[in-house]
Amino acid sequence: MSVYYYNGAQILAPFTITSNEPMFDADTVSLKKQRATQNAQRWEISFSTVGTPDTVQDMLISAVSQNQLTSTMIMPQLPTVDTLSTKSNTSTNVAVAATKGSFFKFSSHDKLYMTTTDINFDGGTNTSVSFYPKLQSNLTTSHTMLTGSLAVLTYYKSVDNMSGITFTDGVLSNSGTIELLEAL
């Protein structure tokens, strides 16, 4: 499993990745279900970190300030997922392979997507990608699929639970639960 970092501190497992896609649910008089969405979706991540003497200052500053600004980090991948890999066969032919559940983004916008099927662009005729959620904005005619460490999450830190961090005898003992919301 890869190691991921938040403000220089290692993210501890388990971490939670949630898809927030508001859905409205109603029952009709005949008890049929009707569901509607606004086609809006964002990724939300929550985790704890382990601090080191080198990261304590960044964690403290992150806990108390700059919460109105967006930041970026590499999107953590699920532990059981092989991240997208790109292999250059020639200067004009690139093979891409991925396991379903891998996060990626398009170079023309900041929204993160997740593959819903395995991908294998090996120079054959299958060049389609099934992913979730639906496109949030149109792709430009020229774009690159950003994978692995290039799948960068742009986020806001949640301000719903600003419990701060705990120091014991001057040593960071608990960074609390950190929740990040994809900036759309």
Predicted confidence at residue 88, as pLDDT, reads 45
Predicted confidence at residue 32, as pLDDT, reads 93
Strand partners, 153: 73
pLDDT-flagged residues of the chain (< 50) = 87-93
- With residue 56 as reference, give the H or E element that holds it: helix 56-64
Predicted confidence at residue 95, as pLDDT, reads 54
Q: Supply the DSSP string of 70-127, one letter for each residue.
A: -EEEEPPPPTTPPPPEEEESSSS-EEEEE-TT-EEEETTS--EEEESS-EEESSSS--
Cβ–Cβ < 8 Å for 12, 47: yes
Cβ–Cβ < 8 Å for 61, 55: no
Predicted confidence at residue 79, as pLDDT, reads 64
Q: What is the DSSP letter of 144?
A: -
User: Torsion over CA of 170, 172, 177 and 183, rounded to 10 degrees?
Assistant: 100
